[in-house]
Every structure is written in C-alpha cells, then in structure tokens.
Amino acid sequence: MTIIIILKFIHYLAIVFSGGVLVGGGVIQSVYAKANQIPDLNTAKILKLLGYIGLISLIILWISGIILSINLYGGFIINSAFTIKIIAAGFLLGLSAFVNFHVFNSSKNNLPPNKTIMKIATMSGRGLLIIVLIAAAIAFY
Ligand code: HEM
C-alpha cells in the first residue's frame, strides 16, 4: 500500500521533470532560433544538463511504471490504451537517449548541436508526451 503510493508519487514527480525539461528546453531553443543565434557556452551547458535530467526522469518513469504495472495489474497487458502508452513512452526514451548522445558527441567535437535534429526532436518529444498522457488518461479511466 505505502510502497504503491510512494511509487505513484515518484512516477508523477518524474512526469513533472520530463515535461519541465521539454517546455524549458524548447523555450530556450526557440528564443535562440528566432534571434538566429547559437546558444552561448553557459546556455549550451544548461541545455545539456536539461537533456540529462530528461533522460534520467524517463528512466525513473520506466522503473516506477514497470513496478507499478506488475504490482497493480500483474504485468503489462492491461488494455490497448496502456499498450499505446508504453509504446509511445518507449519512443520517448529512445529519442531522449539519441538526443543526449548527439549533444554529447557535438560538444566533444566543440560543435553546436544540429539545429534541425534538435527542432525535430523537441517537436516529436512534445507530441509523444501528449500521446502518453492521453493514453494514460484513457487507460486508467
Ligand atoms: C513518458 C512516460 C510516462 C508518462 C508521461 C506517464 C504518465 C502517467 C500518468 C499521467 C499516470 C496517472 C494515470 C492515472 O492514475 O489516472 C500514470 C500512471 C501509471 N503509469 Fe505511467 N507514464 C509513463 C511511463 C510509464 C511506463 C513506461 C509504465 C510501465 C511500463 C507506466 C505504468 C503506469 C502505471 C502502472 C500507472 C498506475 C495506474 C494506476 O494508478 O492504476 N508508465 N502514468
């Protein structure tokens, strides 16, 4: 009982963090894109840190989500909305890992991250998060 409440709390907290990263990172990037500028060194560091936080919160969402599914529903076959939720969550995790890898590699080579990759990734990330949230709302209705 208590452990379920704690896990749900962790799940919700991780949602806040992953959403915050997408909104915050997106706003910073769009301000720079509109000004036609490349983020300065400190902003680039912030974006990199936000990327890590996003990836870590998604990993925490997966860990807490897996334990919750097993304990509350005995596995991952709950309903079709839940299946859509975990597929979209899987894409989101993959996307976040890819973006982190790309940002890590470009900063290693002293280059700014590719603008197009970052724009597409931010847009897809937002879309996927919306899908996960709608699917979660339907799955546990
Ligand atoms: C981006 C990733 C994710 C987001 C944004 C997310 C979002 C949510 C939300 C909003 C809820 C609350 C739904 C409700 O109680 O009505 C929830 C609950 C839950 N999620 Fe996730 N989730 C994510 C990943 C996962 C994953 C990967 C799993 C499992 C593998 C999972 C399993 C669960 C379970 C079992 C519940 C609890 C349902 C209940 O209270 O009966 N979640 N999630």
pLDDT (tens digit, 9 = 90+) per residue, 31-69?
998 999 888 889 989 999 999 999 999 999 999 999 999
pLDDT (tens digit, 9 = 90+) per residue, 102-128?
999 988 888 888 889 998 999 999 999
59 by Cβ neighbours in 10 Å (0-12 / 13-18 / 19+) ranks as middle
Q: Which residues does a 6 A CB cutoff place in the pocket of ligand 1?
A: 11, 15, 58, 61-62, 65-66, 68-69, 72, 86, 89, 92, 132-133, 136, 140
